[in-house]
Every structure is written in C-alpha cells, then in structure tokens.
Amino acid sequence: MASTRWWRSGVIYQIYPRSFADSDGDGVGDLRGITERLEYVRDLGAAAVWLSPIYRSPMADFGYDVADHTDVDPLFGTLADADDLIARAHELGLRVLLDFVPNHTSDQHPWFQESRASRDNPKRSWYVWRGGDAPPNGWVANFGDQRPAWTRDRATGEWYLHSFLPEQPDLNWDEPAVEAAMHDVLRFWLRRGVDGFRIDVAHAIGKDPELGDNEPGRRHNEDWPSVHPRLAAIRRVLEEFDGDRVAVGEVYLLDQRALAPYVTTGDELHLAHNFVFLNLPWSAQRFRETVDEFEELTREGGWPAWCLNNHDHSRTATRYGWTRARVAAMLVLTLRGTPFLFQGEELGLTDVPVPPESIVDVDRRDPERAPVPWAPPSAACPGAGFTTGRPWLPVHPDAEQLAASVQAQDPRSPLAFYRALLALRRATPALQEGSYRSLDAAPDVFAFVREHAARRVLVALNFAPFPRPLPAEAAGGRLLLSTHATTGGDALAADEGRIVEL
C-alpha cells in the first residue's frame, strides 16, 4: 500500500452503495454487502473503489443531501461497518475513496437548522441568504425543471440558495468557518484510513459573492476564480496525511480549456473527471479531437481522468450497444490518464426499464442505478443475488445471462473481456505511464501510440460498422488483445479495437 502515485497507474471502480450488494435483505445495498464483494473488485483488476455517499441523510437526493458528515446512514450500516470495509479493502490491496459533498447540505443538517432559526443566528452566514420580494437573481437549480435556485424560508422571510433541490441548501464558502468545518470533515475520514475523495460538483464552491446573473460565456454560480484557492486548501489537508491521498473533482465543464486549470497547477485537484466522452456521438474524429485537445492542454502538467458513464448518466452499452461499448472500454483503459469504471459496466449492463410508477429519483436517473445482478434470478431468489428481499429498483431483465456468476464462467463474456483488458493494462507500463501520440489513420479509425522505456504499444479502434485498414505502423506488430474473438491481417473488423505491441 506504500506505492507512489497509485492513482495514476490504477483503475478506480465506482460503487453506488444502494445498488451494489445487500447483506440484510431489506432490498437496499449496504456496507457489509460491499465488503463481501471486494474480492470481486480486486479480481477485476481495479486499484481502488469510490463509494457514492454513505452519510446520514433524509435521502431526498439519495445521500447527496448530507445531514451528518461524520456518521453512516443506518440504511447502509454503521461507522464500524465503514471501518471494516476500509480495513478489508486495504487487506486486499484496494484503496477507498469517499464522496465528499462540499457545495451543500441537507436542510435537516444541524448547521442549516441553526442558520434558518433567525437572521442573527451565529450560523446564518454559513449559508447564502438574501432578502427582498423576489429571488436575488435568475439562477436556476441544476435538476431539469428550470426552477429558481432560491426558496423563500417562512421562518425569516428571506431567500436561501440551493443549486439543486430545495432540500439541499448551498453552503457559503465565503464564510471561513464553513471552509474550516469542511476541512475537519475530511480529516475525520482521513484518520479512519480513507485514501481520498471524489469531490461532488467541485467547481461550484466558487461563486460570485455579488450574485451576478449568468451571462453568455460566463457563469456566476460556478467556476468562479475563488474555487481554485479553495481546492488548493483541500489538497493541503490531504497532504497532512501519509499515503498518497488523492482528490478527484467532479468538474462538470464541457469546455476542456476551462477544465484543464483544475489539474495543471500542481497544487489543486490530482484528478478531475472529463465528462466530454459522455456527450459525444460515436465518431472516431470527435473522440480523437477531444483527446488530442486535452493532451495539448495538459502537456506541461496534469493527469486526465476518463470515464464513459456513472450514476448520473446513461450506461455505455445503452448509448452505443455492447459491441461498440467494448471499443469504448478499450479506448478509456488505454489512454494516458486514470480510467474510472462504474459498477456493472464490466458486465455490459444497459439501463434498466423502470415503470413510471416505480421511478423514485427526482431527476429520473433510476435506469442506470439498477442493482448489480450477481446470480441468475430464480423463484427462490428473484433479487438476482443482489438481495434476498425486494430490490429497491427492478433488476435487469436479462439478469439470467448478464449475472456476474454466469459471466465468470464464459471466456467470451463482457466480464472476461474487462478482466483481460485490465490485466493487460497492469502488465504494460506503456499503458500506465507512457506518452501519447495520435496517428493519422483511415477514416473512422482512431489510433494512437503509447510509449514508455522504449516499449511501444499501438491502439487502433474502428468506429465503423465495416472493415477498415490498420495503420501502417502496426505492420509486423504482436497482437496483445482484440475486442473480437477472431482477428488478424491488416484490416480491422467492423467495430473492432486492437492493441498491438510494436
């Protein structure tokens, strides 16, 4: 566990606790369930797990409305269960990252209960309050109904800011006491052995204190200059502790020129999720342009963090189909940077149809959050190994074929492919630390070379539904892995990805 910069060489696996594994039969995943399945994550080849929020919460936004940052919600277990999970992960050589939610709390958090009690309460300034007959500006909440990001509170007649649900009031990071309190939250978990944090909407903790209206090309409610010293201060807290702790930012900025400064200064975030892939059409040219641009932006410093899906976005196999999802997986796991995988991605899961009457999420993200199928469903165990009870969301309709236990026995399964791809990445320094150089290739082919210590590896990805020639540079190379069971020659098959040692 003492290796340096593990977060550059390793793969990070996101666990959405409600849907990973249920140990007590209540239909909702929990910490003991995760602990029981950590060997699966280890065997997949990941270096770390990132847990979506496990804190005490009324669950208006399924844990992203935190009511107590230093306790575990009983739905998931106890602090002792969290300690056991961290200890077991470390025994298996896995790191543990927690979701850190600094932008807002629950309206049930004791801080907000005090803040709303009166206009002169000592914690009034911990949140963003304004008077007046109308909302202070035209900011709208992030969930898709375009409602104002302001709610008038009956107790004092003033408006409070909430970038998300009204049940999620924004903390005021212009108040030094807030920053100090949130740093203490980090220290609480770091002392318990956590290896780092994924920082929810990290770019939102810097806002225009004058509350100016958003303008074309300039937002005032996020990505304000004050965010950068605040993230640098968070990094300094992590550096108080040994063990190469890591700060990963959810920085939802689709302009890569705006994203790059979060990771290129060397004293802020170690990693910032790049979400551009999640919004691209299936196009070799568009993917190459995206990667080449970010490579140029981070050439003098900074390390990319690539992903294809997460708990907020439709699954890759739904967007592209499973054949192309293999190509996308090969791309993410061979680029320069740290790959993030979302639970079930390695099983080829698609979004699960959820009947309208069963939808529970206000932003309708249920389909990608459905439970992981561990075993084929049966009359005795309809929960597909996820739970012995009734799962909180429907299990996948194809769970009989997609279940992890079934795929583990099939050498041609998505799971087998991901295991082989992660194993190749772990065994190939060029795919971990190597330089990146894109190649001119046939139309519909995205090809690049990774090079480290005189070893060169070429990756060629055919985005077309028909054969395309391999780049000439691949001639005479040794095949390391293909997305197809049979491959060869100087042409890529339709929707084939190939890794070749030069």
Three-state DSSP at 140 gives strand
Q: What is the pLDDT of residues 285-311, one digit of tens each?
A: 999 999 999 999 998 889 999 999 999
Q: What is the pLDDT of residues 232-254, one digit of tens each?
A: 999 999 999 998 999 999 999 99
Distances (CA, A) of 65 to 52, 73, 78, 411: 12, 12, 18, 42
Task: Give per-residue burial for 1-16: e unless 16+ CB within 10 Å, then b.
Answer: eeeeebbbbbbbbbbb
Q: Tokens 């696996």 sit at which residue?
A: 13
- Tell me what pLDDT residue 346 has: 98
Instruction: Retrieve residue 456's tokens.
Output: 């060169």
- Tell me what pLDDT residue 359 has: 85
Q: Could you say which of 3.90.1310.10, 3.40.50.12780, 3.90.1170.50, 3.20.20.80 is the CATH number of the domain covering 6-104+174-422?
A: 3.20.20.80
Q: What is the pLDDT of residues 339-371, one digit of tens each?
A: 999 999 999 999 999 988 888 887 889 999 999
pLDDT of residue 486 exceeding 80: no
Q: What is the pLDDT of residues 29-58, one digit of tens each?
A: 999 999 999 999 999 999 999 999 999 999
- Averaged pLDDT, 424-453: 97
CATH for the stretch 435-501:
2.60.40.1180
Q: State whether the Cα torsion 225-226-232-238 is positive or negative.
A: negative
Domain with CATH 3.20.20.80 in the chain: 6-104+174-422
- Tell me what pLDDT residue 145 has: 74
With a pLDDT cut of 90, the percent of the chain lying above it is: 93
Q: What is the pLDDT of residues 312-324, one digit of tens each?
A: 999 999 999 999 9
| Residue 272 · residue 259 · CB < 8 Å | yes
- Averaged pLDDT, 423-440: 97
Question: Which member of 43, 91, 213, 240 is catalytic?
Answer: 240
Q: What is the pLDDT of residues 441-472, one digit of tens each?
A: 999 999 999 999 999 999 999 999 999 999 99
User: Angle CA(431)–CA(278)–CA(106) in degrees, nearest 5?
Assistant: 110
| Residue 434 · residue 425 · CB < 8 Å | no
**Residue 200 appears among annotated catalytic residues:** yes
- Averaged pLDDT, 159-186: 98
Whether pTM exceeds 0.75: yes
Instruction: Give dist(CA 263, CA 301) in Å, integer.
Output: 8
Question: Which member of 99, 200, 495, 496 is catalytic?
Answer: 200
Instruction: Give dist(CA 227, CA 210) in Å, integer.
Output: 15
pLDDT grade, residue 488 (50/70/90)? low
- 440-448 — which CB contacts under 8 Å span 24+ positions? 440/471, 441/471, 442/468, 442/469, 442/471, 443/284, 443/468, 444/284, 444/468, 445/284, 445/469, 445/471, 445/492, 446/284, 446/285, 446/287, 446/288, 446/331, 447/471, 447/473, 447/474, 448/291, 448/335
- Tell me what pLDDT residue 357 has: 80
pLDDT grade, residue 209 (50/70/90)? very high
Nearest to 12 by CA among 71, 74, 98: 98
| Residue 330 · residue 483 · CB < 8 Å | yes
Instruction: Give dist(CA 388, CA 25) in Å, integer.
Output: 5
Phi first, then psi, for residue 14 (nearest 5°) are -85, 130
Q: What is the pLDDT of residues 253-275, one digit of tens each?
A: 999 999 999 999 999 999 999 99
Domain with CATH 3.90.400.10 in the chain: 105-170
Residue type, 423: A
Mean per-residue pLDDT over the chain, rounded:
96
Instruction: Give dist(CA 331, CA 397) in Å, integer.
Output: 28
Instruction: Give dist(CA 186, CA 70) in Å, integer.
Output: 9
| Residue 435 · residue 452 · CB < 8 Å | yes
Q: What is the pLDDT of residues 163-174, one digit of tens each?
A: 999 999 999 999
More confident call, 220 vs 1 = 220
pLDDT of residue 331 exceeding 60: yes
- Locate all alpha helices (DSSP H) within 411-454, ordered by sequence: 414-427, 429-432
- For the chain, what is the radius of gyration of the CA atoms? 23
Helices 227-238 & 176-191, crossing angle to 10 degrees? 30
Phi first, then psi, for residue 56 (nearest 5°) are -60, 135
**Topology annotation, domain 105-170:** Oligo-1,6-glucosidase; domain 2 (3.90.400)
**Residue 473 appears among annotated catalytic residues:** no
pLDDT of residue 3 exceeding 60: no
- Tell me what pLDDT residue 144 has: 67
